[in-house]
Amino acid sequence: MPHPRADLKLDSVHMALWCEGGKPKTLARFPNFEPLRQRLYHQRMAQFPSGQTLLIDADDTLWENNVYFERAIAAFISLLNHQEYSPARVRTTLNGVERETILAQGYGLSSFRQSLLNCFERLSPNGLSDEKRIQIEGFANSILTQEIELLPTVASTLADLATRHHLILMTKGNEAEQADKLSRSGLASHFSAVEIVAEKDPPTYRDVMARHELAPHTSWMIGNSIKSDINPALAAGLHAVFLFHKDTWVLEHAELDAAPEGQKLLELASFAELATIF
Ligand SMILES: [Mg+2]
């Protein structure tokens, strides 16, 4: 014979027992039952207690980003229409040019625009005409006008995490561009601080930890880039959560370092899963 409450979800049963010593019919007394149920659910299921500090990356962690650059690069390769180099070889050349430009100018759209122009001049036998320059600048500038496209569940998951933890946005790039994207995303209110840095390396993470007085054992870096979000954060003493994104920029690819003793490294497939462990 089935249990009389077998039609209830397990967590509802637990909630009912917790409320009234096994009298689920009295749940109607709680007008805010759903938030209370969710809070209790997290207390039971979350692996880490409330009060953690979560440093969260932005591009390709909260919203789509690299896919727009890939489209611009595809248009660039098509315009160049190189007669000897394959598209893959043009791309490899562009990656090298981008590394040089970033060293000189940092990250951001103007750096990307300059890389496309430099790469065209380097590879085109006919040089760079005014007409081609305008077209190439148009490919890069089209990224600026892209609507912010949040990744699945980001808005609801961030809102949920912000009720239990201390959230800091940690992104690298051009300050005005990154601040503009955050503003347009509608997510800014969930963060107690925003860090827009020139490079995400161990000294930068240590500096952020010192300025915000972060305790390493309750502080995490979360992001899609092994090179920028995970390995340097682990080196600086933070825990880390790697969120895989299929369109991560090729210049961010790297081998995942092992977590040093006493530090945690988690790998999750979706942003939503953060709410199940934090
Ligand atoms: Mg990223």
Residue 170 clears pLDDT 50, i.e. is over it: yes
Q: Which of 112, 133, 134 is nearest to 66 (CA)?
A: 112
Instruction: Tell me, in angstroms, the distance from the centre of ligand 1 to residue 222's CA.
Output: 9
Q: Looking at residue 44, what is its pLDDT?
A: 57
pLDDT band for position 192 (cuts 50, 70, 90): very high
pLDDT at residue 8 is higher than 80:
no
Whether this prediction's pTM lies above 0.95 is answered by no
- Interval 127-139 mean pLDDT: 96
- Per-residue pLDDT, 246: 87
**What number of other Cβ atoms are within 10 A of residue 30's Cβ?**
13
Asked if pLDDT for residue 28 goes beyond 80, the answer is no
Exposure string of 211-233, with b = 16+ CB inside 10 Å and e = fewer, is eeebeeeebbbbbbbbbbbbbbb
Q: What is the pLDDT of residue 3?
A: 45
Q: In this predicted model, what pLDDT tens digit does every residue of 73-113 receive, in sequence order?
A: 999 999 999 999 999 999 999 999 999 999 999 999 999 99
Which position has the higher pLDDT, 27 or 51? Answer: 51
C-alpha 14 to ligand 1 mean position (Å): 39
**Span 5-10, mean pLDDT?**
40
User: How would you classify the pairing of strands 265-268 and 239-243?
Assistant: parallel
DSSP 259: P
State which residues have CB under 5 angstroms from ligand 1, the bound ion.
57, 59-61, 224-225
Report whether pLDDT(251) > 90.
no
For residue 264, give the nearest of 224, 225, 216 by alpha carbon: 216
- Kindly give the distance from the C-alpha atom of residue 114 to the centroid of ligand 1, in angstroms, as a whole number: 21
Distance 18 CA to ligand 1 centre (A): 42
Question: What is the pLDDT, as a whole number, of residue 35?
Answer: 58
Q: How far is the CA of 228 from the centre of ligand 1 (A)?
A: 8
Tens digit of each residue's pLDDT (9 = 90 or more) over 212-236: 999 999 999 999 999 999 999 999 9
Residue 162 has pLDDT above 90, yes or no: yes
Task: Evaluate whether 230 touches 223 at the Cβ level (below 8 Å).
Answer: yes
Write down the domain spans for the chain: 10-42, 48-63+149-277, 66-144
CA 61 to ligand 1 center in whole angstroms = 5
pLDDT of residue 39: 57
Instruction: Report how far residue 261's alpha carbon sits from residue 216's, in angstroms, rounded to the nearest whole number.
Output: 13
CA 56 – ligand 1 centroid, Å? 9
> What is the DSSP secondary structure assignment for residue 47, as one 8-state letter?
S
Rounded distance from Cα 119 to ligand 1 centre (Å): 24
Q: What would the CATH number be for the domain defined by 66-144? A: 1.10.150
Query: 215 CA distance to ligand 1 centroid (A)?
Result: 24
Residues 6 or more apart whose Cβ sits within 8 Å of residue 59: 65, 66, 171, 173, 181, 224
Fold of 48-63+149-277: Rossmann fold (3.40.50)
